Amino acid sequence: MPQIVVSANKLDVRYGVQEALNGVQFQIERGSFVAILGPNGSGKTTLIKALLGVIPASSGELEIFGRRPGRIDPARIGYVPQVKTLERTFPALAVELVVSGARRRWPARVRADEKDRAMEVLDSVGAAHLAERALNALSGGELQRVFLARSLIRRPELVMLDEPAAGIDVAGASDLYELLEEYQNEHSATVLMVTHDWHVAHHHATHVLLINKRQVGYGTPDHVLTEPNLRQAFGHVGHAHTMSYSVGEAEKGG
Amino acid sequence: MIDLLGMPFMQRAFIAGCLVGFLASYFGVFVVQRRLSFLGTGLAHAAFGGVALGLLLQTEPLWIAAPFTALVAVGINWIRTSTGLTGDTAIGIFFSVAVALGVVFLSLRQDYTADAFAYLFGSILAVTVADIWVTAGVTIVAAALIPMWSRWAYATFDSELAVADGLRVVRHDYLLSILLAVTVVVAVKVVGILLVAAFLVIPAASARLLSRTFFAMSLVSGAIGILSAVVGLLLSYQLDIPSGATIILVQAAVFCGAVVMGKR
């Protein structure tokens, strides 16, 4: 029987009187690559924050590894936040940021063994040359790689990423997805990724969760990324027909 | 110099200046990096309300000002974390209310108004042995909590990442707020209510310009806090000018130097 890593049952999240998520319900099996898709303000980031235990669920049930968020060993989860929301003025070196992922505290000094491990992980994401750079001297793409290294240094069973490709060029984003898939295959990890990109969801994800505060669909990309679903979630299907992947292809089983 | 250090009031001034310089500049790195520089001004004015209440009650003002200011710090933190209001709005509200209370308290016993004005500008040369013991006590507590640095630094970098990693950020924020409030109160005697915010902000801001890591920033800020107190006291004695203001002008000179060095 497949192991359920994340489970949501009639999940509601509210900010005061404002509804952020309503009745979201899904189960994620170990080894899945799930893309969370929806328009701006649809509750994608809220869902990630609820899973991290940063925002409490207003009602319903939410479990990770069979326990409530915030009550599991944080080392089992790797998290890559949205780079655009990060504080870049904090004085720190990339290697310190990576080590903070292992320690789960900010390091005053980085020990030699910690540095070796950090360099190994930075190297695996092609960012070893950035180790001694200050955070405010990194580009968005470089910072994204360093954050990915930070999340992978603890060898998480579940990796959550919030718009990891935002601000990165197409080649950089493609490398990032390859790195993720490589890690997922090596460690039988589960990946949960917020994205705006239907193309990415179709080509990299095993499952898609389509939301717009309420759940529009959850299942394989072919079943979820249909024109009626996308219209319901986004209000339109945008430029999907002009992309290399199109809704029509998905409906054909593309 | 030896003659100077032979005078008991100068000995007390140097000890108080160094302790307050270290405390304020150590906690100042969290204030500056969290963009809460206005908090120093807010807490200093809250201390004014506490001092006025102490004078009204005819007791040692700092004994009343410390819990009063700590309560204001907790209130600011509570408003900031449990409503949608920003930190500067919460500080602005408590700042005004504390000053208003101070004015009302002083109006009830007008014969103490002159004492209250002494706290506005501070007088490091009037520091008593009891003041030294209180400041040393606060410094010992701060030193005992140095292991918290890595948690506070993590929450300063990104509070959501820290929460996700199991850190009880809200609890730590309250603790840090109370320590800041007590630091401001002990610094009031040295530098005065009007200038105490500079102790929290200028050394940390200078250190930020000179440091590549947050740990280095913390060390450099502490060093600037202590050194500027020593140099400021020596200059104030030599030039016969107010000591608190002189220390801050020394800190300002260090800041100018840091701006120039930081641009290289």
3-state secondary structure B77-123: HHHHHHCCCCHHHHHHHHHHHHHHHHHHHHHHCHHHHHHHHHHHHCC
pLDDT for position B200: 92
Distance from chain centroid for Cα B86: 21
Distance CA A59, CA A63 (A): 13
A49–B150 C-beta distance less than 8 A: no
CATH architecture of A4-82+157-252: 3-Layer(aba) Sandwich (3.40)
B151–A87 C-beta distance less than 8 A: no
pLDDT for position B121: 80
pLDDT for position A112: 96
pLDDT for position A253: 39
Distance CA A42, CA A3 (A): 28
Residue identified by tokens 């959501």 is: B160
B212–A106 C-beta distance less than 8 A: no
Helix (H, G, I), strand (E, B) or coil at A166: coil
A105–B154 C-beta distance less than 8 A: yes
In chain A, the residue whose alpha carbon lies closest to the alpha carbon of B210 is A91
Chain A residue numbers with beta carbons less than 8 Å from the beta carbon of B149 are 106, 108
B164–A90 C-beta distance less than 8 A: no
pLDDT for position A177: 87
With contact defined as beta carbons under 8 Å apart, do B201 and A93 qualify?
Answer: no
* B107 Cβ under 8 Å from any chain A Cβ: no
Give all strands (DSSP E) within chain A, no chain letters.
4-15, 18-29, 33-37, 59-64, 77-80, 158-162, 190-195, 207-212, 214-219
Give all strands (DSSP E) within chain B, no chain letters.
none
> Could you give the angle at which helices B37-56 and B87-108 cross, rounded to 10 degrees?
20
Name the region of A213 (left: φ>0; alpha: ψ -120 to 50; beta: rest).
Answer: left
With contact defined as beta carbons under 8 Å apart, do A62 and A69 qualify?
Answer: yes
Restricting to B residues 17-36, those with a Cβ less than 8 Å away from any Cβ of A are: 33
* A2 Cβ under 8 Å from any chain B Cβ: no
Confidence (pTM): 0.88
CATH architecture of B2-263: Orthogonal Bundle (1.10)
* A77 Cβ under 8 Å from any chain B Cβ: yes
B160–A54 C-beta distance less than 8 A: yes
B208–A106 C-beta distance less than 8 A: no
From the CA of A81, how many Å to the nearest CA of chain B? 8
* A38 Cβ under 8 Å from any chain B Cβ: no
- Interface size between A and B, measured as CB pairs under 8 A: 70
Which sequence spans correspond to the domains of chain B? 2-263
- Mean pLDDT split into 10-residue runs, chain A, 254 residues: 89 89 94 92 93 92 92 91 80 96 94 96 92 92 90 94 82 83 90 88 91 93 90 72 44 40
First-residue to last-residue Cα distance in chain A: 28
Q: pLDDT under 50 in chain B at which residues? A: none
pLDDT for position B1: 63
pLDDT for position A238: 60
